[in-house]
């Protein structure tokens, strides 16, 4: 069965299941969820732990299956952790995971915890994942998006007995922290813990937050592309400055931005030809939060506008590779700023006739 991360605590209070699967790329949240399961296991007398990390094509899956069937020497039950960093168990691993999952409900001697990265659609539809999900508890751990980050920080502060001021000052403090730790949840966790060490329980003043929190943002070119489509000009400017300061390659930043422009152009062209937007988005592999952005933007962007961005993206591609273009900055980062902010402002603009 599928369970959300928010439901895990209440679920564990009702009793431990014999099989858990955690999958996602947010290391802090995966670690915390795994720790919660380990703590629940210890509370139920699971005193022995075996860890298997699947690396390479020649991993010995028989050792995992043997551990699952053996009685613990020193405790009533044991915890078996199977870590698959690649997310691809292979043919032998697929069969072993299916066998492990099928045996789990009737196995009183072991609790099994499978740790996986974020999975693609094909993996979540595979026989091995269906077995893990069908015979145990599967929890998908999604990243905390930028829009959710201030509330996440406030919740974490509350857990350690702290809070920001009510009203505008408190929202400003949360937004300030979110800006400084964007894309780096582990750093956010560390900054929150630092506030707990520096100041007593109770309300935190803006000055206390400002003086304590470092700029530990880890900017991501693909998050930049999201901010562009969301029309967030100030955030786009900050992220571009951060990517440049971190030494990110302008070619990669351009690729992430240009890929969304190319996809927008393909989708807009197809829709103009009379094809349904949902069908075109599926064909272009646009889904999740990105799908929502395209659904909002495609109907109100003009075709010649998107075609112009595609032309500009082609020009900037040459600039980041060392070519000079008339009427464009020679510096790659200045050219990226111009392209990104041009698209951002158009995505932020209200459609004609709206209030």
Instruction: State the pLDDT at residue 71.
Output: 55
CATH number of 146-212: 1.10.8.60
Among 144, 167, 172, CA closest to 156: 144
Mean pLDDT across the stretch 29-56?
Answer: 88
Mean pLDDT across the stretch 227-237?
Answer: 92
Instruction: State the pLDDT at residue 66.
Output: 83
pLDDT tens, residue by residue, 252-295:
899 999 999 999 999 999 999 999 999 999 888 888 788 889 99
Task: Look at residue 251 and tell me whether its pLDDT is greater than 80.
Answer: yes
Give CA–CA dist 38/26, Å, rounded: 18
Instruction: State the pLDDT at residue 329.
Output: 93
Instruction: State the pLDDT at residue 76.
Output: 67
Task: Look at residue 70 and tell me whether its pLDDT is greater than 80.
Answer: no
User: What own/partner pairs with CB < 8 Å and gap ≥ 24 does 65-69 have?
Assistant: 65/96, 65/99, 65/100, 67/110, 68/100, 68/103, 68/104, 68/107, 68/110, 68/112, 69/103, 69/107, 69/109
Instruction: State the pLDDT at residue 350.
Output: 65
Which class would CATH give 2-140? alpha beta
Mean pLDDT across the stretch 302-329?
Answer: 93
Task: Look at residue 74 and tell me whether its pLDDT is greater than 90.
Answer: no
Mean pLDDT across the stretch 225-238?
Answer: 91
Instruction: State the pLDDT at residue 354.
Output: 47
Poorest-pLDDT segment among 101-115, 211-225, 260-274: 211-225
Among 81, 86, 93, 85, CA closest to 34: 81
Query: Tokens 């996602």 — which residue?
Result: 24
Instruction: State the pLDDT at residue 261.
Output: 95
Q: Which CATH architecture has domain 221-348?
A: Up-down Bundle (1.20)
Q: Which residue has the higher pLDDT, 317 or 355?
A: 317
Give CA–CA dist 294/223, Å, rounded: 15
Listed in sequence order, the residues at least 6 apart from 215 whose beta carbon sits closer than 8 Å to its beta carbon are 180
Instruction: State the pLDDT at residue 47.
Output: 78
Pairing state between β 162-164 and 137-140: unpaired
Which tokens go with 213?
A: 């929190």
The count of other CB atoms within 10 Å of the CB of residue 73 is 7
- Mean residue pLDDT of the chain comes to 88
Mean pLDDT across the stretch 112-117?
Answer: 94
Task: Look at residue 312 and tell me whether its pLDDT is greater than 70.
Answer: yes
Instruction: State the pLDDT at residue 72.
Output: 47
Domain chopping of the chain, boundaries: 2-140, 146-212, 221-348
Pairing state between β 137-140 and 2-3: parallel
Task: Look at residue 196 and tell me whether its pLDDT is greater than 60.
Answer: yes
Asked if the domains at 2-140 and 146-212 fall in one CATH topology, the answer is no
Task: Look at residue 353 and tell me whether its pLDDT is greater than 60.
Answer: no
What pTM, to 2 d.p., does this model score? Answer: 0.66
pLDDT-based confidence at residue 183 (cuts at 50, 70, 90)? confident
Task: Look at residue 64 and tell me whether its pLDDT is greater than 80.
Answer: yes
Cβ-count burial of 52 within 10 angstroms (0-12 exposed, 13-18 middle, 19+ buried)? middle
User: Cα torsion at 344, 345, 350, 355 (round to 10°)?
Assistant: 120
């Amino acid at each position: 069965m599928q369970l959300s991360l928010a439901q895990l605590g209440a679920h564990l209070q009702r009793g431990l299941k014999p099989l858990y699967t955690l999958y996602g790329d947010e290391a802090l949240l995966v670690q915390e969820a795994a720790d919660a399961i380990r703590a629940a296991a210890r509370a139920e007398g699971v005193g022995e732990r075996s860890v298997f990390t699947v690396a390479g094509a020649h991993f010995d899956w028989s050792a995992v299956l043997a551990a699952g069937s053996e009685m613990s020497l020193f405790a009533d039950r044991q915890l078996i952790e199977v870590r698959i960093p690649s997310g691809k168990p292979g043919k032998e691993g697929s069969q072993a995971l299916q066998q492990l999952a099928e045996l789990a409900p009737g196995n009183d001697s072991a609790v099994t915890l499978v740790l996986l990265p974020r999975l693609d659609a094909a993996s979540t539809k595979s026989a091995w994942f269906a077995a893990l999900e069908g015979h145990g508890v599967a929890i998908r751990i999604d990243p905390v998006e930028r829009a959710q980050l201030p509330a996440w920080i406030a919740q974490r502060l509350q857990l350690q007995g702290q809070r920001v001021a009510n009203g505008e000052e408190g929202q400003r403090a949360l937004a300030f922290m979110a800006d400084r730790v964007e894309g780096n949840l582990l750093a956010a966790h560390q900054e929150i813990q630092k506030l707990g060490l520096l100041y007593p329980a109770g309300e935190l003043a803006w000055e206390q937050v400002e003086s304590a929190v470092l700029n530990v943002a880890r900017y991501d070119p693909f998050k930049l592309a999201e901010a562009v489509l969301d029309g967030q000009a100030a955030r786009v400017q900050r992220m571009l400055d951060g990517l440049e300061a971190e030494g990110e390659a302008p070619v990669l930043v351009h690729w992430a931005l240009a890929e969304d422009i190319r996809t927008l152009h393909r989708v807009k062209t197809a829709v103009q030809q009379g094809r349904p937007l949902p069908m075109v988005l599926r064909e272009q592999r646009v889904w999740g939060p990105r799908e929502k952005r395209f659904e909002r933007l495609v109907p109100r962007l003009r075709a010649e506008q998107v075609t112009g961005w595609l032309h500009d993206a082609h020009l900037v591609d040459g600039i980041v590779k060392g070519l000079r273009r008339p009427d464009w900055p020679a510096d790659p980062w200045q050219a990226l700023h111009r392209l990104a902010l041009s698209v951002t402002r158009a995505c932020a603009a209200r459609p004609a006739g709206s209030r």
